[in-house]
Structure formats: structure tokens, C-alpha cells
């Protein structure tokens, strides 16, 4: 996999990193999220849902965003009181669409999973840039606010 353009996650409440549009970027994003949350008080309470949502969003950006060769994907994490926001930025301009997968389909359930695990999610144009941001907010696993 081409190199990840990263700096180590900080101990503050937000972090971002550019990743290549590559099938292994989902696992790299999960590792970065684990490192980010490990440095924050109570960060581990967001890990399972955060990793699951992040994986789906990164995989969608890698597989479905119609972008020129060489464009990167950015992941951004922000821990707010009672919420972890994960964002995936890509150079595509088409918003993801929820589809209904048939029982025998091997894919097509990612956005449904994101909706089920998130307290809120959405898509918007990138401010001042090309492409879009797909984001989701997850609550702590035990449901308590921070």
C-alpha cells in the first residue's frame, strides 16, 4: 500500500490524516482511530461503533467515489462531549445513497450499518475544496454522556 501521510494522533480532541485510495486504507484508518481514542480519557467507550462506522465510510470512499487517479481520502476524528464524530473526505461529488440489499447480496448494507450505529450521520460538500464529506456521530457504548 502506498504510504500514509500521517502524524501520530495527538492527545487533543481532534485528529485528521490523509490516506491513499486503497483497499487497505480501512484497516489503516481503524488503527489510527484506536491510537487516537487510546490517548483520550474514556475514548475506549467509542471504539467498537467508531471502528465499524469508520470502516464502512472509508471503504465506500475507496470503492465508490468517482475521482481521478491519485486522489487521497482524508479521515478526521473529533471527540466532543458524549459523541465521537468521524468524517471521511473524498474528491467525489456524488453523495452516497442507501440501497436495499437482497438477502443473498454480499454487499450493499454499509450505509444501513452506519445509520444503525450512529446517533446522526450525513453528507455535505467540502468547504473550500473539491468533493464531499461523509460523517457520522457515535455515542459511548454504555450510552452515558462524557
Judged on CB neighbours under 10 Å (0-12, 13-18, 19+), 73 is buried
pTM of structure: 0.83
Residue-wise pLDDT tens for the chain (146 aa)? 445 555 555 556 899 999 988 888 999 999 999 999 999 888 999 999 999 999 999 998 888 777 777 788 999 999 988 999 999 999 888 877 777 766 665 666 678 889 999 999 999 988 887 889 999 999 997 655 44
43: left (phi over 0), alpha (psi -120 to 50) or beta: alpha
Q: Can you give the pLDDT at residue 89?
A: 93
96 in Cβ contact with 60 (< 8 Å)? yes
Amino acid at each position: 500500500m502506498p504510504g500514509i501521510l500521517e502524524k501520530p494522533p495527538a492527545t487533543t480532541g481532534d485528529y485528521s490524516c490523509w490516506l491513499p485510495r486503497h483497499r487497505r486504507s480501512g484497516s489503516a484508518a481503524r488503527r489510527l482511530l484506536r491510537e487516537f481514542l487510546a490517548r483520550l480519557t474514556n475514548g475506549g467507550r467509542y471504539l467498537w461503533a467508531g471502528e465499524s462506522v469508520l470502516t464502512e465510510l472509508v471503504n465506500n470512499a475507496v470503492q465508490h467515489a468517482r475521482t481521478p487517479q491519485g486522489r487521497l481520502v482524508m479521515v478526521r476524528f473529533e471527540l466532543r462531549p458524549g459523541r465521537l464524530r468521524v468524517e471521511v473526505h473524498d474528491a467525489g461529488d456524488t453523495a452516497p445513497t442507501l440501497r436495499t440489499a437482497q438477502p443473498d447480496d454480499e454487499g450493499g448494507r454499509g450505509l444501513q450499518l452506519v445509520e444503525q450505529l450512529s446517533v446522526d450521520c450525513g453528507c455535505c460538500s467540502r468547504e473550500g475544496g473539491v468533493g464531499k464529506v461523509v460523517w457520522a456521530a457515535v455515542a459511548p457504548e454504555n450510552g452515558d454522556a462524557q
